[in-house]
Amino acid sequence: MRRVSTGGRIGAICAGFILVSLYYYSQNGIEAQTTQDQPATSPAQSPVVTPAPIETQPAQTPSAAEEEEHPQAFDYLPKTKMGYVDWVAAIKQGVIHPRDSLEPDAVTMKALDFNIIFKVNVSGLPDVVYPHYPHTLWLDCRNCHPSIFLMRAGANPVTMEKILKGEYCGRCHGIVAFPISDCFRCHSRPK
């Protein structure tokens, strides 16, 4: 499995999505239209790293009308139960093949298979499981560390409010990755 390894975190992901779209267009005889509107050091190999508990507030999620629909080029990609593109399934099924780098001789890092559990201080709401594996299938450690997340337990005061403002997980989720309205994809560990 391969990951994008560039200095621009979101830009690299967007570039991959654009390439997937252009490939789809070229294979299906559709003309693309444009408008003006439109080797890293790996963390400790621990099975579970538990940061300090995070405080959460009820999230204000966008309505279905506010969420952007996927372009037609994404129609052939596998979907989640909520209808969003499942990028990890697309990689596993061989539908897409992200590259580590634009450099042909770049060293490929193996995907990291460990989880970080964020304790949630809201009764009845499951804790958050952050799985490194699906993220490192196509992202290099430097995409998130240390600019978005410090690699130290308890060093990242993650809240839903900050995520909604585009910090932490919100740097990608809701922009180029599944939206945060798909709550239980992250809040998946019962207390």
Low-confidence ranges of the chain (pLDDT < 70): 1-70, 100
Q: Where are the domains of the chain?
A: 1-33+46-191
pLDDT of residue 66: 47
Cα dihedral value 91, 137, 155, 170, nearest 10? -30
pLDDT of residue 46: 36
Is the overall model pTM greater than 0.85, yes or no? no
Contact 101, 39 (CB under 8 A): no
- What is the C-alpha to C-alpha distance for residues 59 and 68, in angstroms, rounded to an integer? 18
Strands of 13-126, DSSP E: 48-49, 115-118
* CATH of span 1-33+46-191: 3.90.10.10
Question: Which residue is it, tokens 């240390």?
Answer: 146
Phi, psi angle pair for 30, to nearest 5°: -100, 130
pLDDT of residue 63: 52
- What is the C-alpha to C-alpha distance for residues 135 and 137, in angstroms, rounded to an integer? 6
Amino acid at 180: I
Residue-wise over 147-178: b if at least 16 C-beta within 10 A, else e? eebeeeeeebebebeebbeeebbbbbbbebbb
- What is the C-alpha to C-alpha distance for residues 156 and 51, in angstroms, rounded to an integer? 8
First to last CA, the chain: 32
